[in-house]
Amino acid sequence: MMDALMFNTGRTHRGHFGTYKTEFTGFNTNFNDPFEANWLLSIETSESTETAETRDDQLQQETEDVSGAMVNARKCYRGMKFFIEEAFENKPRIRQKFGLDNYDDASQSQFKMAEFLGNLYKLSSVDFNTELLAAGCPSTRIDEILTVKNALSTEDTQQNMFKDNEQVATKGRITQFNTTYAFDQKVNRASKVIFYDNPEVLNLFLFPRHSEPVEIFNVLGKATDMANAPISGVQVRIFTAPAAPAIVTSTDVNGEYGYASIAPGNYFLEFSKAGYMTQTLPVTVLASGAVTVDVQLVPAP
């Protein structure tokens, strides 16, 4: 399941667990306190854990920061290049010392660019400072080389550290999410034993259709639009008569729904979602096997 869906499903199942806690604890003492509290704590911890999407966004920001530092580095170089050429117009060997001939290569790499700026700063502030100042180069421009170089090195290091930490972060996230999911899986498995003959309650603890083995369902199907595209979030109700209690579920991300342990008999399935016309279809559930009821929803006028 997707992370957000897993947390939402877990919170819902935990709420139902509180309602039927006596049945669960009577079945297995491992469901005694502090199981319920620990489940909530695990959900909250998972919800506050950095997601893969968040890390992707942060990596993009790190990349943008490095790109910005590289832009400043190139701008800094262009400013110094003017004064280097002014001061050493007739001294190509000195100009080469400043790296003017290998700048293009350095400008393609953060590491090389930082190294290039370090050399540029040393030559400008120490070895040829007098000549550059005489050519009209402001001392503040020379000082700026070191500032820009340090900023580039810092951004490059932060980006590399973030990338290096990705495997650790991913492992930690997966471990935490699996811990949370394990609570829900345990309750889900137990519910299939405790409420085997009570479909009204059993179906409260089922995972979305795509996360359950298909053989558990004896009423199932798919909701699509007029173009045969799946529709998620369709509310599905099964009942014996309009005034009778209904068991409610909804379609998953694939537009699929399912009910387990529905007793043999004649029922109605009602499908509804905002923006579509509600449809009600008859269904006969047999003593064995599964019945499939697909529906194609029509847009509301």
At 38, give phi and psi (nearest 5°).
-65, -35
Going by the DSSP 8-state scheme, the letter that residue 261 receives in this structure is S
Place of tokens 């495997």: 167
Closest CA to 267 of 243, 285, 245: 285
Mean pLDDT score, 200-229: 96
Mean pLDDT score, 287-296: 96
CA distance 282 to 270: 9
74-77 contacts, C-beta under 8 A, 24 or more apart: 74/107, 74/113, 76/117, 76/144, 76/145, 76/148, 77/103, 77/107, 77/116, 77/117, 77/120
Strands (E), the chain: 217-224, 235-239, 247-250, 256-260, 265-272, 279-285, 291-292, 295-296
Residue 196: band (very low, low, confident or very high) from pLDDT cuts 50, 70, 90: very high
Place of tokens 């005489």: 134
- Residues with Cβ within 8 Å of 191's Cβ and at least 6 positions away in sequence, in order, are 201, 202, 204, 205, 206
Report the percentage of the chain scoring pLDDT > 90: 90
Residue 244: band (very low, low, confident or very high) from pLDDT cuts 50, 70, 90: very high
User: What are the structure tokens assigned to 271, written together?
Assistant: 């499908």
Report the percentage of the chain scoring pLDDT > 70: 99
Residue 1: band (very low, low, confident or very high) from pLDDT cuts 50, 70, 90: low
Quick check: helix, strand or coil at residue 207? Answer: coil
pLDDT of residue 100: 86
Share in percent of the chain as helix, strand, coil (round to 5)? 60, 15, 25
pLDDT (tens digit per residue) in 3-61 = 788 899 999 999 999 999 999 999 999 999 999 999 999 999 999 998 888 888 999 99
User: What are the structure tokens assigned to 27, written together?
Assistant: 């079945």
pTM for the model stands at: 0.70
285: alpha, beta or left? (left if phi > 0; alpha if psi -120 to 50)? beta
pLDDT (tens digit per residue) in 133-185 = 999 999 999 999 999 999 999 999 999 999 899 888 889 999 999 999 999 99
CA 42 to mean position of chain CA atoms: 18
- Inter-residue contact 136 to 83 (CB < 8 Å): yes
pLDDT of residue 2: 63
Mean pLDDT score, 224-232: 97
Residue spans of the domains in the chain: they are 1-194, 207-301
CATH number of 207-301: 2.60.40.1120
Pairing of the two strands 265-272 and 256-260 = unpaired
> What is the chain's mean pLDDT, rounded?
94
Place of tokens 């889900």: 188
